[in-house]
Every structure is written in structure tokens, then in C-alpha cells.
Amino acid sequence: MTERLLIANRGEIAVRISRACRDLGISPVAVFSDADRASLHVRLADHAIRIGPAPARESYLLPEKLIDAAKRTGARLVHPGFGFLAENAAFARAVRDAGLAWVGPDPESIDAMGSKTESRARMKAAGVPIVPGMTTPAKDPEEIAAFGREHGFPLLLKASAGGGGKGMRIVRAEDEVPAAFARARSEAVSFFADDKVYCELYVEKSRHVEVQVLGDRSGRVVALGERECSLQRRHQKVLEECPSPVVSPELRARMEESAVAAARSVNYVSAGTVEFLLASDGRFFFLEMNTRIQVEHPVTEMVYGVDLVAEMIRIALGEPMSVPAHPEPRGHAIECRIYAEDPSNGFAPSPGTIHRLRWPQGPGIRVDSGVEEGDTIPLDYDPMVAKLVAFGSDRAEAIRRMRRALRETRVEGIETSIPFFLALLEDPDVLSGNVSTQFLEGWTYPGDPAPTDDAAELALVAAAVASARESLSVRGSSQPRPPSAWRTARPTFGHRE
């Protein structure tokens, strides 16, 4: 009987999962909302089931519709992708209870990592470093000072009842403690009517570095190196790379060891990511674990020569993973998330129909996209159009290839973040890897570069010829020629044939 897998997602990741299915000889089953009736992920599937209207809460977020679609098509496996219900333990349980195989970790693992306090406690018990912090409010300034002497400065003073950054103070040295303590306390009272304050280590200029792990039912857990994800805009990653330009083999080994310990502590099965905050002095601290495949997984796949989505499916079928015990990185990969937004207009969303699309090709280039020429980017979902990934023998080559890929790409009909990436990949700090998670907060898109004289002249000639041609075709006959006649006939205004 044909093995079928239901993809409980849409867009680029649904297409990605569909490809892994084909590679494994499994038949992909798509689901779609009314906004996605003929989207690429539907067109690539053998079966497709409508699950509701465009809003996600009436379609892609409805467990019963998804499970029903699996049953109707005889799919035995369910892959949630990322976003939507991917980290929803109740959905994972419902899938399991329906007698289907969930392509992901057990719901117990999702639950354990889903709670900030529980995961912190578990990590502490497993010996995974967490940001040092007081677990009870400070009785007096001396307690804060003692904490600083033990863990180092600067410290972040926080109101126990606080949130949203209110009532927080940074303390840079021990002699600042008494005044800061008094101030934080009075702020805590005025903001939250509660004078309790505590402190934790404040990690300045930290980077976001995450480790990919993979576990199977035989109890094996393997780490596949790290990804550098410090370049974030509005807390959204925009450019990721593997390996991190600042992680040495020795540091990688220690981070991988911690990540495997974190995964083991929750009996982790399938692909997952342990996120760390990496301080400039090389210390690293557990942030959280993402219990799913990540957007940026392709950079790991290119450097480690694995197919993480196919491994997830193998593991869900009860098979052992096909990854060696100590996978070694080879080369360097960079990913740019291309969004339908206009960087020269404050990154305003730019939905619409793509009437011209050329993806880059050639050595070292991978494109994961959910759209084709003629498709419309719907307003209802994430505006990511594609992930462009460039691989090189080293970081410099990967960057050169990424620039080539960005320049080769053609998207007409909508604006994209490509000009932003071209500018970003000229920044000296980005090129040297000297960035932190705050980097893009202090970096503004410089605007479209002033065109060169050549570009201005070519643009002017193209615009004038287009306009002249249009008025000629209107004047030349009582019935205007359709523009398609130009395209099919391909007349030339010159000597090239």
C-alpha cells in the first residue's frame, strides 16, 4: 500500500516537506485554505484536501480538520512543519490518539520545553548552562552585590512582578548597587505595587547561536553543529549561517554536548533546535528549545550533507537515523529570508501578483520557495516568499555566491527585501561577523543606492522606448494590439535575431 504523509502546513515549508516525501517514495498529501486552492504546495501533491476559509484560525489551526484530511486520504503520517500547530502538544497528542504517526517529538517533550520555568529547571538539573539569576527576591543590596561578586557584572535588576522592560536597571559595578537597588525598588512599587526585585547576569552584545539536534527511537541523539542567527529585525531572524563565524571547534564541541544533554533530558526524538545566547567571552546559556524543524534548517543541511526533513520522517516510521555519530561540517552556508516587503518604504508589506520570477541557479545555490511566476502572495499569511541559500568552500565564497544569487533573482510585481540583503552584505561588521542580536536595531537600510550614470541612462532609454511603443501601438490601429502580441512575436528593435 502506498505510504502517504499529510503536510499540515502551507507555502514554502509544505513544498519542502513534499520534496522529502518524494525522495523517500512517500506520497504527499496537501491541505489548503480558500486562499491556497492552487498554491504550489497543492500543485505538487498527489492529494489535496480543503480545510476551510483563508484565516488560519479557521483552517490551518484546526486539528480536527487536519486529522480528518489524513483519514480521508489514508495518510499514516502527519508533518506539522513550522508555525501553525508545529509546537502544539495537544495536536501532537490528537494525531497520536487517532492512530497516526506524528513527525516530530513526543507531546511530553513539547510540553516540557514549552514552559519557560519548567525547561529552565530541567536544564539546570541536566547541567545545561542557564543565565545565572536569583531564584528568590533580594532582601537587601548586599545580596545583589554578593551575586555580582560570584557571577560578575553587569547585572540586570528586575521587578519580580515586572514585564515589558519596565522597572529594569543595568548595574555595571558593585559600587552602583545600593543606589540602583533603591531606585529599582521604588520603580517596582510605582509600576507594579510590589517592591520585590531580583537580579540576573546581564549578557551584553550577545549572539544567538543554536545547535541542531536529531534523536531517534533507538535512543541516539546527535548534534549537527550550530547556526549563527544573530541578525534579527523585530526579533525575526533575517539571515542565518552555518557554521557561526565565531565558534571554534572546541566551543562547538561544548555547545553540542550541552545541546545533546538538553535533548536527552526530555527524551527528545526527531529534529529539534537548542537555542543559546553566546556571550562575547565565549560563555553560553540555554535560551529555549524549538521542538520542530526550523526555517533556517537548509544551512545545516548543506554543510552537514543531510536531509533533516527526510530524517524526521524516517524516525517517525521507527527507523534509525542515517546520520553518523560525529558529523563533521564541510564549507559554509548562508540563508537570506526573502520577504514581500519594500525596504525603501519602511519595510511595508508588498503583497500582489508575481508576474515575472527568475530564481538564481548554478553552483552552490539552493532556493526553497512556495511560489511560482503568476502566483499571488496572499495577505493572510507570513510574507516570506523564499529562502535563498548559498554554499561555498568557505564563508567568503558563500557570501560572494549569495550576492550573485541576489542579483540574479528577478521578482516583478511585488517588492522584496533583496535590496536590503545586498546592502547588508556590504557592511564591514556583517562581513567580519562582528554582530550581536542588537546589531540590526542600530542599523538602518541606507535606501536604494543612487543609480550609476549607466543604470540611469539604461533605465531612461527603456522607459522612453516602452512609452513610445505603447503610444505607437495605440495610434497605429483602431484596435490596440494586445501586449501579448509583442511577446509572442518577439520583434526586435535592432540587429540581434
Partner 1 sequence: MKYRAKVAGPSGERSVEVEVQLDPTGVVVSLDGRPARWDIVPTPGGGYSVLRADGRQAEAVPHPGGNGTVRVRVGAERVTLELLDELTARAQAVAGKGAYRGSGDVKAAIPGRVLRILVGPGDSVLQGQPVVVLEAMKMENDVRAPRDGVIRSVEVSAGQAVGAGQILLRLEPA
Q: Which of 164, 219, 249, 494 binds partner 1 (CB under 8 A)?
A: 494
Q: Which of 351, 363, 480, 482 binds partner 1 (CB under 8 A)?
A: 351
Residue 219 one-letter amino acid: G
Q: Which of 22, 149, 172, 407 binds partner 1 (CB under 8 A)?
A: 407
Q: Which residues contact residue 65 at a Cβ distance below 8 angstroms, ignoring those fewer than 6 apart?
A: 31, 51, 52, 59
Q: Which of 37, 71, 172, 356 binds partner 1 (CB under 8 A)?
A: 356
Mask 361-400, x = binds partner 1 (CB under 8 A)? ------------x-----x-xxx-----------------
CB contact at 8 A, 209 and 227: yes
Q: How far apart are CA 495 and CA 488, in angstroms?
A: 18
The residue range among 7-15, 142-150, 389-397, 447-455 that interacts with partner 1, by the rule CB under 8 A, is 447-455
Q: How far apart are CA 37 and CA 53, in angstroms?
A: 10
Q: Which CB, 432 or 452, lies closer to partner 1? A: 452
Rule CB under 8 A: say whether 406 interacts with partner 1.
yes
Q: Whose CA is closest to 386, among 9, 13, 33? A: 13
Q: Which residues contact residue 89 at a Cβ distance below 8 angstroms, ignoring those fewer than 6 apart?
A: 107, 108, 110, 111, 114
The residue range among 17-25, 276-284, 318-326, 484-492 that interacts with partner 1, by the rule CB under 8 A, is 484-492
Least distance (Å) between residue 421 CB and partner 1: 10
Strands 365-369 and 197-201: unpaired
Q: How far apart are CA 88 and CA 67, in angstroms?
A: 14
Rule CB under 8 A: say whether 448 interacts with partner 1.
yes
Q: Which CB, 97 or 470, lies closer to partner 1? A: 470
Q: Which residues of 171-203 are buried (b: 16+ CB within 10 A; e: fewer)?
A: beeeebbeebbeebbebbbeebeebbbbbbbbb
Rule CB under 8 A: say whether 348 interacts with partner 1.
yes
- Residue matched to cell numbers 543606589: 179
CB contact at 8 A, 367 and 389: yes
The residue range among 149-157, 172-180, 262-270, 445-453 that interacts with partner 1, by the rule CB under 8 A, is 445-453
Q: Which CB, 151 or 469, lies closer to partner 1? A: 469
Rule CB under 8 A: say whether 179 interacts with partner 1.
no
Rule CB under 8 A: say whether 456 interacts with partner 1.
yes
Q: Which CB, 108 or 448, lies closer to partner 1? A: 448
Q: Which of 344, 353, 434, 438 binds partner 1 (CB under 8 A)?
A: 344
Q: Binding residues for partner 1, how many (CB under 8 A)?
A: 56
The residue range among 66-74, 151-159, 273-281, 446-454 that interacts with partner 1, by the rule CB under 8 A, is 446-454
Q: Which residues of 451-468 are buried (b: 16+ CB within 10 A; e: fewer)?
A: eeeeeeeeeeeeeeeeee
How far CA 355 is from CA of 12, 343, 371, 372, 492, in Å, comes to 19, 20, 11, 9, 22
First to last CA, the chain: 54
Q: How far apart are CA 460 and CA 245, in angstroms?
A: 42
Least distance (Å) between residue 381 CB and partner 1: 8
Active-site annotation holder among 10, 233, 252, 292? 292
Q: How far apart are CA 308 and CA 225, in angstroms?
A: 13
Site for partner 1 in 209-268 (CB under 8 A): none
Q: Whose CA is closest to 155, among 108, 202, 188, 196? A: 202
401 is catalytic: no
Q: Which of 130, 161, 422, 431 binds partner 1 (CB under 8 A)?
A: 422
Rule CB under 8 A: say whether 462 interacts with partner 1.
yes
Site for partner 1, rule CB under 8 A: 340-341, 344, 348-352, 355-356, 373, 379, 381-383, 406-407, 410, 412, 418-419, 422, 448-469, 471-472, 483, 486-487, 490-496
Catalytic residue numbers?
Answer: 292
